[in-house]
Amino acid sequence: MSGSGMTGGPVFQLSEYLISKKSFLQWTDSLMEGFTIIGPAWDGRQTVFREVGSSAELTLNYVTTMLAPGKLHIYRPKEKLFRFSLSGRQEIGELPAFNGKQIIVGVHPCDTNAILYLDRTFLGEFKDPFYEARRNNTIIISLNCTDVAPDCFCRSMGTGPFLNADSGFDMLLTDFGDDFLVEVKTERVNRLFNVSGARRAGNEEFALKAAKEKSALLKFTKTIDIAGLDSLLRDNPEHPVWGQTSDERCLSCSNCVMVCPTCFCYDVVDEISMDMKTAVRHRQLDACQDRKFAEVHGGNFRARRAARLRQFVTHKLDHTRQYGVFGTVGCGRCITWCPTGIDLTEIAKEIQRTKR
Partner 1 sequence: MKKPRLGFFKYSCCAGCEFQTFYFQKHLMETLSSFEIVFARMISSGGTPEGPFDIALVEGAITEAWQADELKKIRKRSAVLFAIGACAVNGGIPAIKANRPEIEVEENVYGDLSAIHSIRPHPVDAYVPVDGHIRGCPPGERDLYEALTSALFRKKPDFLRQSVCIECKLKGNVCVLVTFRMPCMGPVTNAGCGALCPSYNRACYSCFGAMKQANAPALARRFRTLGMSGDDIARKFTMFDADSIEFRKAAELYED
Partner 2 sequence: MNALKPSKAAIKNITHETGDVRTYEFYVGDALSADPAPGQFNMIGCPGVGEAPVSFSGLLKDGSIRHTIKAVGMVTDFIGRMETGDEVFLRGPYGRGWPLEQARGMDLLLGAGGVGLAPLRPVIEKIVRERDAFGRVLLLYGARDERRLLFLKEYEAWQDFLSLHITVDELAAGAASKYSTGLITTLLDRTELNAERTVAFICGPEIMMRLFCRGLLLKGANASRLYVLLERRMRCGIAQCGHCQHGGLFVCRDGPVFSYNEVSGFADGLL
For residues 243 and 245, give the distance between their C-alpha atoms in angstroms, rounded to a whole number: 6
Q: Which does 204 bind (CB under 5 to 8 A by kind): partner 1, partner 2, none?
A: none
Q: Which residue, 21 or 249, has its beta carbon nearer to partner 1?
A: 249
Q: Which regions of 108-201 does DSSP assign to beta strands (E)?
A: 138-143, 171-176, 179-184, 199-200
Amino acid at 199: R
Q: Which stretches of the chain bind partner 2, using CB under 8 A?
A: 81-82, 84, 86, 89-90, 92, 94, 121-122, 124-129, 234, 237, 264-272, 279, 281, 283, 286, 288, 293-299, 301-302, 307, 310-311, 314-315, 318-322
Q: Which residue, 184 or 259, has its beta carbon nearer to partner 1?
A: 259
Comparing CA positions, the residue from 246, 352, 355 lying closest to residue 302 is: 246
Asked if residue 290 binds partner 1 (CB under 8 A), the reply is yes
Comparing CA positions, the residue from 307, 278, 281, 279 lying closest to residue 293 is: 307
Q: Which residue, 33 or 125, has its beta carbon nearer to partner 2?
A: 125
Asked if residue 258 binds partner 1 (CB under 8 A), the reply is yes
Asked if residue 93 binds partner 1 (CB under 8 A), the reply is no
> Please, what sign has the CA dihedral across residues 20, 22, 25, 29?
negative
Binding mask 3-42 for partner 1 (x = CB under 8 A): ----------------------------------------
Estimate to the nearest angstrom the gap between the alpha carbon of 288 and the chain centroid: 18
Q: In this structure, how many other beta carbons lie within 10 angstroms of the beta carbon of residue 107?
A: 29
Give the shortest CB-261-to-partner 1 separation in angstroms: 13
Phi and psi angles of residue 35, each rounded to the nearest 5 degrees, phi first: -135, 150
Contact of 148 with 220, CB cutoff 8 Å: yes
Q: Which residue, 184 or 258, has its beta carbon nearer to partner 2?
A: 258
Pairing relation of β-strands 36-42 and 102-107?
A: parallel
For residues 123 and 136, give the distance between their C-alpha atoms in angstroms, rounded to a whole number: 11
Q: Which residue, 184 or 342, has its beta carbon nearer to partner 1?
A: 342
Burial of 57: CB neighbours in 10 Å, binned 0-12, 13-18, 19+: middle
- Among positions 38, 182, 241, 259, the unique one binding partner 1 when judged by CB under 8 A: 259
Binding range to partner 1, per CB under 8 A, among 53-61, 136-144, 198-206, 244-252: 244-252
DSSP summary character for residue 8: S
Asked if residue 262 binds partner 1 (CB under 8 A), the reply is no
Binding range to partner 1, per CB under 8 A, among 136-144, 178-186, 215-223, 290-298: 290-298
Q: Which does 133 bind (CB under 5 to 8 A by kind): partner 2, partner 1, none?
A: none
Comparing CA positions, the residue from 159, 160, 156 lying closest to residue 224 is: 156
Give contact residues for partner 1 (rule: CB under 8 A): 45-46, 48, 66-67, 72, 77-78, 246-255, 258-259, 269, 272-276, 284-285, 287, 290-292, 305, 336-340
